[in-house]
Amino acid sequence: MEMNLVYNIVWKFWENNKDLEYEDMLSVAFVVYCEALKNYDSKRNTKKTTLACVYMKRAISDWIRKEREQRNLFVPLVDEEENEYEIPVPFVPPISELLEEMGQEAKVICKMILETPLEFAGLPPKICKGKIYKKLRSEGWSWKKIWDSFKEIKGVLNET
């Protein structure tokens, strides 16, 4: 049994979904790995590990989606063309707890985002960051002050 393969795949998924239980994700992967080995057909000219990877990635993705649905951690959004869709929201402690750990400049940035969440919802992080940079630069903030504030916010969020 390729234990490192299973651990590696689960770890990659868990890094982006740390609010979910690692052990549960690992157990899903092990069960699916065993199923993949049972379904392996050497006549298909594929490696066992390739088949196992495909099975595990699909199963873990499905499990994550189901877990998120059970927790109701999806936020419904509507884009400019009136298309409805949902985006997953990771677990984050209450905002008041996070703001207590931040300096004044970082709090200003967080409040800017919280006051207009629809302006940033569904956008890639780089575009959100660019909008914030532009607004703060127009208010006279230095690049260093903005950079340090983003580093502080990132540090606080990574601690959770």
Tell me the domains of the chain and their CATH numbers. Answer: 3-71 (1.10.1740), 92-159 (no CATH)
Q: What is the pLDDT of residue 137?
A: 93
Alpha helices in the chain (DSSP H): 3-15, 22-39, 48-71, 95-100, 104-115, 117-120, 125-138, 143-159
Separation of alpha carbons 56 and 27, rounded Å? 11
Distance CA 21, CA 26 (A): 9
- Integer Cα distance of 104 and 110 in angstroms: 10
For residue 87, the SS3 value is: strand
State the 10-residue block means of pLDDT for the chain, 160 residues long: 84 85 90 86 79 89 81 64 69 71 88 83 84 92 91 80
